[in-house]
Amino acid sequence: DLDRFKVYNDSFGHAAGDVALKAAARTISSTMRREDTVTRYGGEEFVAILPGVDIQTAPIRAQEICDTLAKVFMYNPKTIFAPLTASVGWATYPVDARNRDELLNRADLAMYMAKKRGRNCICGASELESVAALDSVLSEVVAQLASADTVGPGMVATLEKRLGQIANSSHLEELAEGMLSPNSEATLEALNALAASIDAKDPYTSGHSQSVAKLAEDLGDMLQLSPAHKNQLRLAAILHDVGKIGVVDKVLLKEGKLDEDEKLIMRMHPILGARILQPIKAFRQILNVVLHHHEWYDGSGYPDGLAGQNIPLHARIVSVCDAYHAMTSTRPYRQRRTPEFALAQLEAGKGTQFDPIIVDYFIQMMRKRQAENPDALEADVHDDHPGTPEAEAAS
């Protein structure tokens, strides 16, 4: 994927962008063997198929593409010469994937990680940890959830042991189609079990998904959302952290601040969550909430840097509820914050991290609870979830 190509287009015009695309195509093609195939995949993305290239050779070929592109400088009258660089993700079959769709998805995910590392570099799917084993595990999980009469502690315990690596399943739709619908009791039980499984990966996260969902549901009442929208909001809040299934324990359970590489891994969880849910039609209306609940109102969040009203409303709601519950919960390296501290932090984050209107309604909701029951805010303090708004924004 060509780096910052939208900026290039906006700065120099689409005609210059077309010239750059053609130059990129020629340059990438120059690195190919006769048996290789390279094609434009869409926008500024290119896909290369390299038969016979194994996991040892793939990074060498990927680096060759990256280095060759970096030597290309496009002339334009504004900056005279502008460098043309790319972020390259690679994956091999059958080590990283079981079929062509998985292979492309894994390479795409690796490419995104390369961009997060600073662009103009490569990343292999193997660096994201192998998903072949987890693919079948997730298929099994969905099948269990969809077919179970009840979801009890035993199943949750089983799921907790099985979930823990990056997921990209091509079988979810096959298993879930026709079994799950957004409003069915089976779906709600499945969601609750899946959320409990996510929380169970870390003893400090017990009940976080349900707590955020309850706050979001109550805030939806304050905002006078329709019943259908409140239902979508609740489902999204329950599953907002589903992508953390794909975060390795050494990062998720780390006591202390994450380093830069660990932050990059943690920041993949919204993307992973959306991809896990995407094959299930019943959940497609909440994908953007799962994907964008870490966007900041000022555009400095992730994964897409959306700002203001471009961030889905339900994602803005979940963001506030998630931050509040994170602050009022204990983390391995710090004690929980008081409700008053959390509300003050939300107030301070208006217009930067949070939607000002959503924060105002949330604070109004919490003050109303306090007026009705002076101990209500203290009752919202938890000993379970590891996060402050700062930590959550960085994770």
Q: Which residues are catalytic?
A: 244
Other residues' Cβ atoms within 10 Å of the Cβ of residue 212: 29
Distance spanning both ends of the chain, measured CA to CA: 24
Other residues' Cβ atoms within 10 Å of the Cβ of residue 116: 19
Q: How far is it, in rounded angstroms, from Cα 393 to Cα 395?
A: 6
CB 118 within 8 A of CB 260: no
Alpha carbon of 173 to those of 138, 148, 168, 191, 284: distances in Å? 11, 17, 12, 16, 12
Q: How far is it, in rounded angstroms, from Cα 324 to Cα 344?
A: 10
CB 187 within 8 A of CB 286: no
Half-sphere exposure of 261 (CA within 13 A, CB side): 5
Q: Produce one character per residue of 138-154: b if its CB has 16 or more CB atoms within 10 Å, e if not.
A: bbbbbbbbbeeeebeee
Angle at 199 between CA 196 and CA 203, to 5 degrees: 125
Alpha helices (H) along 226-355: 227-238, 249-252, 260-266, 269-277, 287-292, 313-327, 339-348
Q: How far is it, in rounded angstroms, from Cα 163 to Cα 174?
A: 20
CB 58 within 8 A of CB 90: yes
Q: In terms of Cα–Cα distance, which of 219, 162, 232 is closest to 193? A: 162
Q: Produce one character per residue of 345-364: b if its CB has 16 or more CB atoms within 10 Å, e if not.
A: bbeebbeebbbeebbebbbe
Peptide bond between residue 94 and the one before it cis (omega within 30 degrees of 0): yes
